[in-house]
Amino acid sequence: MWHSLSSDQEMLRDMTARFLGDRVPLARLRKDLRHDPAGFEPDYWAAGAELGWTSLLVGEEDGGGSVSGRGAVDLALIAFEFGRHAAPGPLVDCNVVASALTGQAGETQRHVLGELLAGSAIGASCLGAAPWQGAGEASVAIRRDGEDVLIDGSMRPVESAGQAAWLLVTGFSDGRMTQVLVPANASGVSIKALKSMDVTRRFGSISFENVRAPASALVGEFGRAGEAVARQIQAAAVMLSAEAVGAMDAAFDMTVDWAFNRYTFGRALASYQALKHRFADMKSWLEASHAVSDAAAEAVADRTALAAETASAAKAYIGEQGPELAQECVQLHGGIGVTYEHDLHFFLRRVSLNRLLYGTPAEHRRMLAALQIEREKAA
């Protein structure tokens, strides 16, 4: 997280932090919301939307807007607090869908965007084709059929699939990307709830069987969504990274406290050099994660030449080091670290699951390699 923020940014962050502390403290997540089908109460999301959770990547002309003029940076502040609180709610997907819809002229697109901004509906992103996949590896195909398009395939895991009213479907069309917006209750769409690693977030599997959508449901042009998808993945990488850093921060603080207060053999854990050195390593991973997460948010907000690389570097590095740090925290806690009663697992779940969404570290590394190879060929 940045060393200095404007007072508007601090207010944005603090309002979300206070709200999450009041509405979804860990005690509530642990008990009351554990088996809730959505993982949160209906008015929670709408109230969050009022705090700006879904508007930061949306242009002002569409009813959105950021506080600093750099939406991805402001959104990273919110995501960081989501991580620190292990907060429920489809922050990443709703923002991905909103960012895809801003600037689109279609009536449905504008209507859905309005609902997302108000928090009255949830959008899910079904990434059935991704830039790290070859044409044969995509799980969703979108083809033309007269004036319509037809969607076939499936995607999992999709966050809040069971709660989403709208699906932004990404698929391959003869090796090129297409995006379509369809209602979750469209004929041919079936959604199945999945069990997951997390207790605060819900995931589902979505399959599309001959799902028909009019051309007006296209987001962008048929077969030409590649660049938009790349930018959505960058935005998702920024949010997932900032969230993971928040969770790492919480787990690390908790474990440092533990090291000072836990005594063995008449000494605090914090006095053993073997453990001090591991804390030092963790601190360096944590600071590095803060740094690259911030750098990614800035690069994506400013659309610099290095935006794609910085976002992938953040996703790959934090995706690797976040779970490593959380597992070290478990090890330093000992047995209590794997109990449901303790708070640590919330953060372990958050970073471990975030590692897998919108591209694993291995997938982002291959994207980084592709960019590097391309550049050296050009040189």
Partner 1 sequence: MESVEDFRLRARAWIKANLGPVQPWDLDQDCENDEEELVAVARDRRLQRTLFDGGFAGICFPKDYGGLGLTPAHQRAFNEELVGHEFPSRFTVPTFSPCVAVLLEFGTPDQKAKHIPAILKGEEVWVQMLSEPGGGSDVAGATTSAVRDGNEWILNGSKVWTSRAWWADWGLCLARTNWDVPKHQGLTVFLLKLHQPGVEIHRIERLTGESEACQEFMTDVRVPDSLRMGEIDAGWTIGQRWMYHERIGHNSPYVTRPIGLTGKASDLTSPVAIAKRAGRLDDPAAQELIGEARALSIVSHALLRRLAEGAASGQGNVDTSAIGRLFSGLARVRQNTIAFELAGADAAAWTEEEEEETGSQGMDFLMRQVSCIGGGTTEIARNVIAERVLGMPREPSGDKGVPFRDVPRGPKRG
Binding site for partner 1 (CB under 8 A): 3-4, 256, 259-260, 268, 270-271, 273, 276-277, 279-281, 283-284, 287-288, 290-292, 294-295, 305-306, 309-310, 312-314, 316-317, 362, 364-370, 372-373, 375-376, 379
Q: How far apart are CA 76 and CA 201, in angstroms?
A: 19
Q: How far apart are CA 134 and CA 137, in angstroms?
A: 5
Q: How far apart are CA 315 and CA 309, in angstroms?
A: 10
Residue 205 vs 360, nearer CB to partner 1: 360
**C-beta of 367: minimal distance to partner 1 in Å?**
7
Residue 345 vs 365, nearer CB to partner 1: 365
**C-beta of 129: minimal distance to partner 1 in Å?**
18
Q: With the CA atoms of 113, 114, 118 and 122 taken in that order, what torsion angle do they form, in degrees rounded to the nearest 10?
A: -40
Residue 34 vs 263, nearer CB to partner 1: 263
Q: How far apart are CA 43 and CA 22, in angstroms?
A: 14
**C-beta of 245: minimal distance to partner 1 in Å?**
12
Element (H, E) at 144: strand 140-145
Q: How far apart are CA 15 and CA 327, in angstroms?
A: 30
**C-beta of 219: minimal distance to partner 1 in Å?**
29
Residue 5 vs 140, nearer CB to partner 1: 5
**C-beta of 73: minimal distance to partner 1 in Å?**
14
Residue 132 vs 222, nearer CB to partner 1: 132
Q: What is the DSSP letter of 39?
A: S
Residue 93 vs 294, nearer CB to partner 1: 294
Q: How far apart are CA 114 and CA 63, in angstroms?
A: 8
Q: How far apart are CA 74 and CA 66, in angstroms?
A: 7
H-type alpha helices, the chain: 7-23, 26-30, 42-50, 71-85, 91-101, 107-118, 226-261, 273-302, 307-333, 344-356, 361-378
| Amino acid at residue number 327 | Q
**C-beta of 313: minimal distance to partner 1 in Å?**
4
**C-beta of 110: minimal distance to partner 1 in Å?**
37
Residue 46 vs 256, nearer CB to partner 1: 256
